[in-house]
Amino acid sequence: MKINTDRCDIAVIGGGILGIATAMRLAQEYPKYKVVVLEKEAGLARHQTGHNSGVIHAGIYYTPGSQKANLCTVGSRMLR
């Protein structure tokens, strides 16, 4: 999709999951600002995001109580 992006308040570089999530949150937090996502490919999620297995894990592969395990567990709960 080609839109006029000559002027914007916030530009997010990259149309992967993190770029889109960041842009969405910025748009929610700052509704008066124009937020755009700049992506070099013809579509979104064409690189790492599009090539993963699509699984959001619950941290079972990390040492119990470690920061990675805790963050995975918190993130998993947030998605429910």
State the DSSP H helix or E strand holding residue 80, giving kind and residue range, or none if neither. Answer: none
pLDDT at 73: 82
- Spacing of C-alpha 13 from chain mean position: 11
Residue 6 CB contacts under 8 Å (≥ 6 apart), including other chains: none
- pTM: predicted TM-score of the whole model, two decimal places: 0.60
Write out pLDDT tens, residues 39-71: 998 888 888 777 666 666 666 778 888 998 888
pLDDT band at 31 (very low <50, low <70, confident <90, very high): very high
pLDDT at 5: 55
